[in-house]
A and B are shown apart, each in its own frame.
Chain A
Amino acid sequence: MKQIFKNELRRAFTGIPFFIAIAIGTVIAFWQVIQYVIPLTEFVNDVHTYAGKPGLFPLSVFNKWIGAERTGLPSYLFFLVIPLLASLPYGDSYFQDRKTGYIRHILIRQNKVQYYVAKFIAVFLSGDVVVVIPLIINLGMSALILPSVLPEVSTHTHAIYAHSMWSSLYYAHPYVYIGLYLLLIFIFSGLWASISLSVSFFSGNRYVVLLFPFVFYVFIHAITNLLNIDRMSPSVFLRPSQPEAYISFPIILGEAVLLLLMTGGFFVAKGKADDTF
């Protein structure tokens, strides 16, 4: 198990698509910093100059990092293309293994279930990492430029309200809130990447395998929009700024479990049952 797991991780994390996906995410992260964070340095300086004047409260990293930005183009784009970024590094690997016959060489030497579990974990982790690294870079850059002043409800400059999920945590320990949200994004990015694995059983085209998660993601966004339940769309609840009210953690958990069953559960079960040779 250890050997196949190491092998799959090495393939996932050293491929060119992995670095391309990180590069695309990082470009968007830098774009957000240049357009929305750097211009605020002047405002931060003003706050220092006018210290003691009432009514002036500094905008902080918690207002302006890519996850908190509600009105900007880069943040919207980043959270929209998450499934594309996540599936790019290794989403098509099972499809390629089958097409090239590589899977046969592996399964002669390895247990079938171990191969499928290792494949799922590698796709899951590669999808996570390419999405979360640009977010961490953006958060770090924003924290270098803007102060980490504890959010103050009365300033009305923060996106999180009383009815928002984990709102008390946000106002008491904002970095813990961001950490939890990054964990949520981490889990969902991996799950969206793993959708490609399930699609590999049904499609004969590599790009259908890679692009399907994104089309499905936009489809869910449209359906929830139609039914006026936008808060249930991953494109909405994955944004730490929580653009919709009443985002509920149990619903997010339910969607994660459903996705896990649709991807990991289905992939391992179907892979085990299918005839490889």
Chain B
Amino acid sequence: MIHSKATVKSNISSIIYSVRYDFWQGIMKRFPVFLGIGFIFLLANITFIKKTAVLLSSGNSSGLSFADIWIYTFRGMEVYTPSENSKFVIPGFWLLLQVYFSYLVSFWPYTNISGHGHQVLLRCQSRWKWWIGKCLWVGMSTIGYYLIGAVTLLLCVWLNGGQADLNVHNDILSAFQIPMDGYTASWLLGIFILPVLASLTLGMIQLVLQFCVGPMITLIIAVAILVSSAFFSNPLLIGNQAMIWRYAFITPHEIDFLPSLIIDAILIIAAFILGGWRFSRYDIL
């Protein structure tokens, strides 16, 4: 019994060591890449800031909130119906926000294991523990990405005279042709959770693929998933979950909160297990 307690303690301390290492080496030491996130979120909202400033100063709006700018940032695009007269174009900043996240998580674990990650693996004494550390790194990177983004958006709201609350203002969003008539408070959680979960799921898929096909082809696959998501409205194509325009309260019968949550959970668990299995057989030397 004492022995098993010691083993558990040792396992936990190995994982904590791995997580601490990943946090410092994989996030803090790559801070310039993370600073880029704030810049991209700021650029993505320049039009919104300019237009809402005019609306607020002219008294044509009931107010501006953090939820408004979040919805604008992750609005994505309407469901695309292919026809000869409608060309397929993905909104530039939605694509950049997703591609930048994919870039952020696309190669660090792979390059790390070829370098001093070896030493960490030896200290962890188990490939599974090392793998858990990397999965948690994807989680930390996702949270870091959205945290920096959210802080940038909050600053934009405050500088524009808005409030840091979560009230959705239909008049503001309708000025950007985002119809929020079907919105109910029950969707509040979905609006904030689903884009984050979509990124986490994509990040986990990329983590597994890195050790199967390498970072370059992994990024091509991630881009293919994102572009396909814009083309087809299907919750299995996880980029759809990062497009608020496709949520069921705007586009009926499309992305719903609970099914999306289940899909993400299944994909994350599958990626964790498959990736761990793959990494335990991965030729490191």
Residues of A within 8 A of B (CB): 17, 20, 24, 70-73, 76-77, 80-81, 84, 88, 157, 205-208, 210-211, 214-215, 218-219, 221-226, 230, 243
Contact assessment for A84 and B87 in the assembled complex, using a CB-CB cutoff below 8 Å: no
Q: Among A71, A77, A205, A222, point to the contact of B96 (Cβ < 8 A).
A: A222
From A70, A80, A88, contact of B216 by CB (8 A): A88
Is B251 an interface residue, CB under 8 A from the partner?
Answer: no
Which of B46, B96, B223, B231 interacts with A219 by CB under 8 Å?
Answer: B96
In the complex, are the beta carbons of A71 and B220 less than 8 A apart?
A: no
- Given A71-B83, A225-B93: A77 and B227 interface contact (C-beta under 8 Å): yes
CB atoms of A211 and B215 under 8 A apart: yes
Closest to A21 in B: B216
Interfacial chain B residues near A230, Cβ < 8 Å: 89, 92
Bound Cα distance from A249 to B46, whole angstroms: 29
Interface SS of chain A: helix
User: Is B25 engaged at the interface, CB distance under 8 Å to the other chain?
Assistant: no
Interface residues of B in 52-87 (CB under 8 A from A): 82-84, 86-87
The stretch of B3-11, B98-106, B130-138, B271-279 in contact with A is B98-106
Contact (A84, B223) CB under 8 Å given A24-B217, A157-B84, A225-B93: yes
Instruction: Determine the chain A residues whose CB is within 8 A of the CB of B91 once the complex forms.
Output: 225
Given known pairs A24-B217, A84-B220, the reply for A73 and B228 (CB within 8 Å) is yes
Cβ-defined contact, A214 with B93, below 8 A: no
**In the assembly, what is the distance between CA of A70 and CA of B89, in Å?**
9
Q: Are B216 and A207 in contact (CB under 8 A)?
A: yes
Known contacts A70-B87, A205-B107; A215 and B215 CB within 8 A of each other: no
Given contacts A207-B106, A207-B215, contact A24 B220 (CB under 8 A): yes
Sample of 14 further A-B pairs with CB below 8 A, known A214-B103, A218-B99 = A70-B87, A71-B84, A84-B223, A88-B216, A206-B111, A211-B106, A215-B103, A218-B92, A218-B95, A222-B95, A223-B43, A225-B93, A226-B43, A243-B89
User: Among the listed A71, A157, A218, A222, which residue makes an inter-chain contact with B82, where contact means beta carbons less than 8 Å apart?
Assistant: A71
A210 to B110, CA, bound (A): 14
B107 to chain A: closest residue by CB: A207
User: Does B224 touch A at the CB level, under 8 Å?
Assistant: yes
Give the 9 A-B CB pairs with smallest separation, nearest first: A225-B92, A222-B92, A207-B107, A222-B96, A70-B87, A73-B231, A218-B99, A222-B93, A71-B82
Q: Chain A nearest CB: distance from B81 CB in Å?
A: 10
Q: Which residues of A contact B37 (CB under 8 A)?
A: none
A232 to chain B, nearest CB (A): 12
Answer yes or no: B219 CB below 8 A from chain A CBs: yes
- Known contacts A24-B217, A223-B92, A226-B43, A80 near B227 by CB under 8 Å: yes
Report yes or no: A211 in contact with B220, Cβ–Cβ below 8 A. Answer: no
* A72 contacts across to B, CB distance below 8 A: 82, 88
Is B96 within 8 A of A221, CB to CB? yes
- Expressed in whole angstroms, the minimum distance between the Cβ of B45 and any Cβ of chain A is 10
| Cα of A88 to Cα of B86 in the assembled complex, Å | 32
Determine whether the beta carbon of B216 is less than 8 Å from that of A76.
Answer: no
B43 contact set on A, CB distance < 8 A: 222-223, 226
B-chain residues with CB within 8 Å of residue A211 when the two chains form the complex: 103, 106-107, 215-216, 219
A207 to B103 CA separation, bound complex (whole angstroms): 10
Would you give the shortest CB distance from A70 to chain B, in whole angstroms? 4
User: In the assembled complex, which residues on chain A have CB atoms less than 8 Å from the CB atom of B86?
Assistant: 71
User: CB < 8 Å: which of B92, B106, B107, B223 contacts A77?
Assistant: B223
Are A71 and B87 also in contact (CB < 8 A) when A211-B107, A222-B96 are? yes
Taking the closest CB of chain B, its distance from the CB of A22, in whole angstroms, is 13
CB proximity of B6 to chain A, nearest CB, Å: 39
Minimum distance in angstroms from B192 CB to a CB of chain A: 23
